[in-house]
Structure 1
Amino acid sequence: MQLTNRLVPAAYRDVLRVPGFRRLLSGETVSYLGDGLSVVAITLLAIAIAAPEHTALVVGAAVAAYTLPAALGALALAPWLRRLDARTLVTANALLRAGGLGTAAVLHLLGRLSPAGYVALLAVSSLLVAWGSAGTYTLVSRLVPAEHRLPANTLLGTSQTTAIIVGPPLAGLLVAATSPGVALAVDALTYLVLAAQLRGIPVTAVPAEPTVPTSGFRLLARRPELLGLLALTAVFFFLYGPVEVALPLFVVDTLGRSAGFLGVYWAVFGVGALLGGLLAGALRRVSPWPFAIAVIAGWGAALLPFGLTTSTWITLVGLAAGGVIYGPFPAFNITLFQSAADPADLPAVLAARGSITVAAAPIGAAFGGPLVTWLGPGGTLLASGALTVALAVVAAVLRLASAARRRSAPVPAATVG
């Protein structure tokens, strides 16, 4: 595909003319804002209910319970969910999120929430997250023509990025004025808004297929292109994981700044990702694999200054540039899957993808602690950046080798009948 440009308003105007997509975007934007609130509310509520000697354990368990069970749900629930329609998947996830988070909030406000019960409710609320995300992007593929999917995915991604920037400060104000339980209750309400918006979305049904439903991983195994993209994405996210451990320690220990200054680093990254995503969404068509590899290489290069300097300004600029470079990646990645998978198989394929990508970064973060102990915060960020650049180089070499094999493959001779 050739790369062509369109003005940003024109690129998004076509997408926003689709009524069903407008409803989906508005509902998801509200729920994303709730997730932005939960970044702060989840940990503060854990601190509020934990015994002082168990605070770190409860906080860690709560954060893990809010994300990791999504990978388990993607695998364990596949036999029952992989052929449900996309709107039902998104609605089920929204209602389960609202129920689990809302119950935790109400119990806390009543003084009846225990740490174990809190972790259990968070875990239940996250079981369908991968399926909900799969349903969202399957809806995009059903509602929006193929040539408009990249801007549509970009609008969803930038809404999520904006929520990550805006949500935590709002949560801080809300918690200061009320309590963490109230902030969590607001998060639950945002999912009810999403469920309500979904009711008005018309979706064209995908014709039923006579074949026996197949798991997402088996479908991926039949498509080497998608399997290779998933492997590349998983390793990329895994290599990002140590950043979440090393960056706070770099700010506090290496730079000698306050813990609050970490928010400045994440803010410049978030703003950069927002701008990068919006600008890239204006690209009507782009060669997806070269673009994905370039993004990975660029993000890795943006981390290298952290291991070479202690200049606050240089590292801030590096992280902002990394945000601009990374911003387009989620939308392009999802668009590739939407284009390559069969419509009936897309929810199962995207849920299988989600089970891997959701777990990749936390697993990488688990390795971050030992790496920081061994290399220090700056050394860990440098190692993450260098390995990410190396990943891009390996992916580029493999793509070139694959293209060369296809060009050299003999063309079957035509038979005369």
Structure 2
Amino acid sequence: MRAALERHFADTRPVAIPEYRRLLAGQAVGFIGFQLTGVAVAAEIYSITKSSFWVGMMGPVALVPLVVFGLWGGAVADAMDRRKLLLISSLFTWGATIALLVNALTAKSVWVIMAAVFVQSSGFAVSSPTRQAIVPRLVPTDLVPAANTLSFLFSSLGSVLGPLLGGVILATTDFSAAYAIDAVLFTATLYASYRLPKLEPLGEVTAPGPRAVADGLRYIMTSPIVLMSFAVDIVAMAFALPRALFPQMAAERFDGSEFAFGALSASIALGSVVGGVFSGWVGRVRRQGVALTVVIALWGLSVALAGLAEPLWLCVALLAVGGFADLVSAVWRQTILQTYAPDEMRGRLQGVFFVVVAGGPRLGDLRAGATASAFGLVPAWVGGGLLCAVSVFAVGLSVKSFRNYRVGS
């Protein structure tokens, strides 16, 4: 029985390490509030403007700081104490949530929301790659894949609980309550960051700046396996992510139900949670290049079918299948990157990884909102999923080294 559990369920050995356990717990609790705020922001903007275009415009507003500060923050993480950097950047994210709370109680301005999202994204763009660069310093190398899986699992769990909590809160109170709860929950992240040991740079230190960023980009461009793992993820998020369409879907197909909006917002992450729990098989897949291509195509097809589903339960279930595929993809891509990179480069490479992972969905928001305004809800939703499934095979199988890649080769 123990052998069967170890083969099929998530490896929990990293939680025996106190520093990693606190970091994971702080991330898990704080991410619930972060997702709660994301749902509230989308709903508040739609409430003010009645337009998916403006909801989609939050994509580029968040994308610019994610790109700039993700790259810069990764370079800084290689040149200073990562504990201190994580704490400072987390304080910026927390301050942005306070600004959203004040705005919801007073002005209710879309422009204030955009400014707060910009600051929040800036802090998140620095803290996320820094946190991922810290993980290999806290756990042994052989436990890095398990630690990555747990991180994605609890982030996905937060992505389920946050939107579901958001649906309940928005149906019973108002936007300010959502932001207030986020501000309280985020103190767990601040505490976990404070309790970390000092994490001074190892190896050769490169001063943060264009040269350091260029070194990280050069490393990626000369590694086809890593480069293609980024490319297929951009295809998945930019073409198929339907997140910006959830308010319109809830309004048009499900009679404006707040519960439906919360369920749609949580559905992808729900599938990711299931994928994380039953992730014991993930590490045994050898041909990860082909496997990445297949699971991302599955993501696109699941999204397309969800756009055609009439019952709420079926739409949620299909999006959950896509979330399962997305979790598996994320674990493989993160592990490939972390095991390739030396510590003195890890922050910069995690910065690029973060830009791709966090920036791709923002491009997806912009694509979804713009195409929905031009062609309607269903063509934007279904067409994006089908385009993803077709494009990922064209991209993922076009490079021989990625197509033939095996773990350890």
Q: What TM-score do you get using the length of structure 2 for normalisation?
A: 0.80
Aligned-pair CA distance for 1:309? 6.7
Q: 1:126 aligns with which of 93, 97, 121?
A: 121
* Deviation digits for residues 220-270 of structure 1 (CA, Å, limit 9, x no counterpart): 2343332222222222211123x23556656665xx432323444444443
Question: Which residue does the alignment assign to 1:346?
Answer: 346
Match of 1:202?
A: 197
State the alpha-carbon separation in 2 of the partners of residues 42 and 306 from structure 1.
Answer: 24
Contact 2:282 2:328 in 1 (8 A): no
Matched, 1:90 2:97: no
Residue 275 of structure 1, CA deviation: 0.5
* Alignment partner, residue 412 of structure 1: none
Can you give the 5+ residue segments of structure 1 that lack an aligned partner in the other structure? 406-417
Alignment map for 1:225-244 (pairs within 5 Å): 225-241=225-241, 243-244=242-243
Specify the alignment match of 2:397 in structure 1: 397
Find the aligned partners of 2:71 and 2:322 in 1 and give their Cα distance: 32
Counterparts of 1:304 and 1:218 in 2: how far apart (Å)?
A: 36
> Per-residue deviation at 1:96?
1.0
Aligned to 1:38: 37
Note if contact 2:304-2:382 (Cα within 8 Å) is conserved in structure 1: yes
**Structure 1 match to 2:371:** 371
CA distance in 2, matches of 1:313, 1:60: 25
Paired residue secondary structure (2:278): helix
Corresponding letter in the other structure for 2:81: D
C-alpha distance 244-59 of structure 1, shift in aligned 2 (>3 A)? closer
Residues 237 and 361 in structure 1, CA contact (< 8 A), matched pair in contact too:
yes
Is 1:66–1:123's contact at 8 Å kept on the other side of the alignment? Answer: yes
- Aligned to 1:384, the other structure's residue is in SS state helix
Structure 1 contact 265–316 (Cα < 8 Å) conserved = yes
Alignment of 1:159-174 (within 5 A): 159-174=154-169
1:273 corresponds to 2:269 = no
Contact preservation (8 Å) 1:86, 1:347:
no
Contact 2:65–2:125 (CA<8 Å) still a contact in 1? no
Residue type matched to 1:257 in 2?
Answer: F
TM-score (norm 1): 0.79
In structure 2, stretches of 5+ residues that fail to align are none
What whole-Å deviation, never above 9, does each CA across 1:333-373 have from its counterpart, x for those lacking one?
21221111221111111112222332222223323345346
User: Could you say which residue in structure 2 is the equivalent of 1:333?
Assistant: 333
Per mean C-alpha deviation after superposition, the further-off stretch among 361-370 and 88-97 is 361-370
Distance of aligned partners of 1:203 and 1:38 in 2 relative to their CA distance in 1, 3 Å threshold: same
Alpha-carbon shift at residue 35 of structure 1 (Å): 0.8
SS of alignment partner, residue 220 of structure 1: helix
Indicate conservation of the 8 Å contact 1:12/1:282, yes or no.
no
**Where do 1:250-289 residues align within 5 Å?**
253=252, 256-260=253-257, 261-281=260-280, 283-287=282-286, 288-289=288-289
Of residues 96, 102, 105, the one that matches 1:100 is: 96
Q: Distance in 1 between matches of 2:266 and 2:235?
A: 25
Q: Measured at CA, do residues 246 and 143 of structure 1 come closer, stay the same or move farther in structure 2, by a change above 3 Å?
A: same
State the alpha-carbon separation in 2 of the partners of residues 404 and 56 from structure 1.
Answer: 41
User: What is the number of residues matched between the two proteins?
Assistant: 396
Q: Which residue of 2 aligns with 1:193?
A: 188
Q: Does the 8 Å CA contact 2:164/2:266 hold for their aligned counterparts? A: no
Alpha carbons of 1:274 and 1:404: their partners in 2 closer, same or farther (altered >3 Å)?
A: closer
Q: Structure 1 residues 53, 178: CA separation in 2 closer, same or farther (over 3 Å shift)?
A: closer
Contact 2:10 2:278 in 1 (8 A): no
Kindly state the Cα deviation for residue 301 of structure 1 after the two structures are TM-superposed.
Answer: 2.6
Per the alignment, residue 66 of structure 2 pairs with 70
Q: Residue by residue, what CA displacement relative to the aligned partner does 1:358-395 show, whole Å, maximum 9, x if unpaired?
A: 22222233233453466654444443233222233224
Amino acid at match of 2:101: A
CA contact (8 A) 1:97 1:188 kept: no
Question: C-alpha separation between the residues in 2 aligned to 1:65 and 1:245?
Answer: 13
What secondary structure is seen at the aligned counterpart in 2 of 1:280?
Answer: coil
1:409 is matched with which residue?
A: none
Calculate percent identity across the aligned residue pairs: 22
- For the structure 1 residues 244 and 169, does the alpha-carbon distance in structure 2 shift closer, same or farther, using more than 3 Å as the test? closer
Q: Return the offset for 1:22.
A: 0.5
What is the root-mean-square deviation of aligned Cα atoms in Å? 3.7
Distance change >3 Å, CA 61–CA 344, structure 1 → 2: same
Which secondary structure state, in structure 2, belongs to the residue aligned with residue 350 of structure 1? helix
